[in-house]
C-alpha cells in the first residue's frame, strides 16, 4: 500500500492521544480518537473553536454506527447507499464517545467513510476518528493541502504525506438529520 507508513504513524499518534492532519473522503481534516476527550480538547484549542460546537466522527462501516448510536433507524443505511456525495448523518443518543465530541443534546454527526486511506486507518484503529476541517474556526475550509494554514500544520502531532500533492478541489460533506424516515438537510 502506498500509504502504509502514514497509517502506522497515524495509528501511533491516535493511540497516544495525539492529533493528526489527514486527507478524508471530502476535505483535509484534523483528527483524533473520538473516544478521547483530552485529544478532542487539543483540536478545540488548535482550531480556536467554540467548545459547545460538535464534531463530525468518521467510521468505517454500518456496524460502527450501531456500536456508537443507541437504536438508529436502520433505513438510513438504505438512503446512504443511494447518495453519491459523502453524507454525514446526525444521530440522536450517541454512545461511548467523548462528551466534547457530541452535540449539547447528546447527538453525534457520523459519516461512514468511503475513502480507502480513512477506511484502512479506522479499521486498524478500531475506534471512530474525529474529522473536522483543517482550518482555524471561522476561516474558509481548505480545498487542498496547500491551502492549510501553517498554524494548523505545525499544531498537529502528525501530518499525513499521502495525497498532499492532489490539486482537485475538495468540498465538505452533505449533512443531514434522519427523523422518522425523512431527510432534513442541514448542509447540501
Residue 177 is predicted with a pLDDT of 95
The answer on pLDDT for 179 being more than 90 is no
Handedness of CA 44, 14, 135, 62 (dihedral sign): negative
The answer on pLDDT for 1 being more than 70 is no
pLDDT, average across residues 119-133? 97
Rounded Cα gap, residues 64 and 128, in angstroms = 8
Place of cell 471530502: 26
Residue 146 is predicted with a pLDDT of 94
The answer on pLDDT for 180 being more than 90 is no
Average pLDDT value for the chain = 95
Sheet containing strand 56-59, strands side by side: 158-159, 20-22, 29-31, 129-133, 56-59, 108-112, 87-91, 174-179, 182-187
The answer on pLDDT for 161 being more than 80 is yes
The answer on pLDDT for 118 being more than 90 is yes
- DSSP three-state, residue 48: coil
The answer on pLDDT for 133 being more than 90 is yes
pLDDT in tens, 18-64: 999 999 999 999 999 999 999 999 999 999 998 888 999 999 999 99
Rounded Cα gap, residues 115 and 29, in angstroms = 13
Domains in the chain (CATH in brackets) are 4-187 (3.90.870.10)
Q: What pTM did the predictor assign?
A: 0.95
Amino acid at each position: 500500500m502506498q500509504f502504509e507508513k502514514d497509517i502506522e504513524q497515524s495509528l501511533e499518534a491516535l493511540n497516544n492521544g495525539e492529533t493528526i492532519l489527514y486527507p478524508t473522503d471530502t476535505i483535509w481534516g484534523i483528527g483524533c480518537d473520538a473516544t478521547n476527550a483530552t485529544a478532542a480538547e487539543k483540536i478545540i484549542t488548535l482550531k480556536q473553536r467554540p467548545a459547545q460546537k460538535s464534531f463530525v466522527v468518521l467510521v468505517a462501516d454500518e456496524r460502527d454506527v450501531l456500536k456508537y448510536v443507541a437504536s438508529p433507524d436502520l433505513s438510513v443505511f438504505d438512503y446512504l447507499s443511494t447518495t453519491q456525495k459523502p453524507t454525514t448523518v446526525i444521530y440522536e443518543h450517541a454512545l461511548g464517545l467523548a462528551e466534547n465530541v457530541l452535540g449539547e443534546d447528546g447527538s453525534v454527526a457520523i459519516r461512514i467513510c468511503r475513502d480507502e486511506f480513512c477506511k484502512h486507518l479506522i479499521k486498524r484503529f478500531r475506534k471512530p476518528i474525529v474529522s473536522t476541517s483543517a482550518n482555524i474556526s471561522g476561516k474558509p475550509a481548505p480545498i487542498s493541502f496547500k491551502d492549510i494554514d501553517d498554524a494548523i500544520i505545525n499544531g498537529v502531532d502528525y501530518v499525513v504525506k499521502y495525497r498532499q500533492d492532489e490539486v482537485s478541489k475538495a468540498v465538505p460533506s452533505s449533512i443531514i438529520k434522519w427523523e422518522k424516515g425523512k431527510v432534513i438537510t442541514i448542509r447540501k
